[in-house]
């Protein structure tokens, strides 16, 4: 595994003069699960917004597999292989669980009008393949029996799980997970962590924001602790948890 599969160099971003990111740098190895810890306002979600193209940084770079993605729009970054979840989930709540997953597949034939008229059979075959794959993903994550239910009828934990399934349907190589287990029931936490823990076995790399230290200890290979937009500590979960600077800023 290379150390610079994802490289973040010197990102800076301010809001009304307040620095959300102040020259922040880190890297992610291929097949690694990296945790981002830090108090509210540390800049964690701002970092995700910059990586995924929802915010443009004032300086610095985001480089994935040698390709500079800095400042590119979100749809270009998604095409490059990055998908993310949000704290507010952003599901289409009136659509079925299955339809939410189907909408997450990239380069669907129905998106091009010409395919409807000139490649009808191949388009239908691809749509059937997507439906089968979406059903398989829902089965693997324990949501198959909810496939035809509106997404809004799911519990909060199930909605979070559906957001993760949508990322998997997008076939992203890098998943940015924003507080995936916050506010959900203990049994759902175990299910979610089990799925996240297995993602590297599926060829995925993960960066996750989480306040639950136990969850971080269970799934993360390495942890970066942020505060006020800068990196305070970096290492294994155990090393970061026991770092006096982290204890002073966050845990104590």
Beta bridge partners of 62: 8
Beta bridge partners of 84: 176
Torsions phi, psi of 47, nearest 5?
-60, -45
Token pair listed for 22: 């102040």
Residue-wise pLDDT tens digits, 134-151: 999 999 999 999 999 999
What is the model's pLDDT at position 128? 86
pLDDT in the model for residue 120: 64
Tokens of 169: 């349907």
Full 3-state SS string of the chain: CCCCCEEEEEEEEEECCEEEEEEEEEEECCCCEEEEECCCCCCHHHHHHHHCCCCCCCEEEEEECCEECCCCCHHHHHHCCEEECCCCCCCCCCCEHHHHHHCCCCCCHHHCHHHHHHCHHHHHHHHHHHHHHHHHHHHHCCCHHHCCCEHHHCCHHHHHHHHHHHHHHCCCCEEEEECCCCCCCHHHHHHHHHHHHHHHHHCCEEEEECCCHHHHHHHCCEEEEEECCEEEEEECHHHHHCCHHHHHHHHC
Q: Which residues of 30-49 are buried (b: 16+ CB within 10 A; e: fewer)?
A: bbbbbbbbbeeebbbbbbbb
What would the pLDDT profile of 55-67 be if each residue is shown by its tens digit? 999 999 999 999 9
Residue 29: the pLDDT is 94
Query: CA 63 to CA 43: how far, in whole Å?
Result: 19
For position 1, what pLDDT does the model report?
Answer: 41
- Low-confidence residues of the chain: pLDDT under 70: 1-4, 107-120, 250-252
Token pair belonging to 32? 């690694």
Q: Whose CA is closest to 104, among 118, 125, 85? A: 85
**pLDDT the model gives residue 109:** 59
Report pTM. 0.89
Per-residue pLDDT at 149: 97
Cα 201 from Cα 221, distance rounded (Å)? 14
Distance between CA atoms of 187 and 220, rounded to whole angstroms? 19
pLDDT at 245: 87
């Amino acid at each position: 595994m290379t150390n610079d599969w994802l490289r973040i160099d010197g990102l800076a971003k301010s809001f009304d003069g307040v620095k959300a990111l102040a020259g922040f740098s880190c890297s992610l190895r291929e097949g690694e699960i990296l945790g981002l810890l830090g108090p509210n306002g540390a800049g964690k979600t701002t970092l995700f917004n910059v990586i995924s193209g929802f915010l443009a940084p004032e300086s610095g770079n985001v480089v994935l597999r040698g390709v500079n993605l800095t400042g590119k729009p979100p749809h270009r970054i998604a095409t490059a292989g990055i998908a993310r979840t949000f704290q507010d989930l952003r599901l289409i709540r009136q659509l079925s669980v299955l339809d939410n997953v189907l909408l997450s597949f990239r380069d669907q034939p129905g998106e091009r009008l010409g395919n409807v008229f000139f490649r009808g059979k191949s388009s239908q075959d691809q749509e059937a393949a997507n439906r089968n794959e979406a059903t398989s993903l829902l089965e693997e994550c324990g949501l198959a029996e909810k496939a035809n239910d509106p997404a809004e009828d799911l519990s909060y934990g199930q909605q979070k799980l559906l957001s993760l399934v949508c990322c998997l349907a997008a076939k992203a190589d890098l998943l940015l997970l924003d507080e995936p287990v916050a506010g959900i029931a203990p049994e759902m936490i175990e299910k979610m962590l089990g799925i996240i823990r297995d993602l590297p076995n599926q060829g995925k790399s993960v960066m996750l924001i989480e306040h639950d230290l136990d969850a971080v200890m269970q799934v993360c290979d390495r942890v970066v602790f942020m505060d006020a937009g800068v990196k305070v500590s970096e290492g294994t979960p155990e090393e970061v948890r026991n770092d006096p600077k982290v204890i002073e800023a966050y845990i104590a």
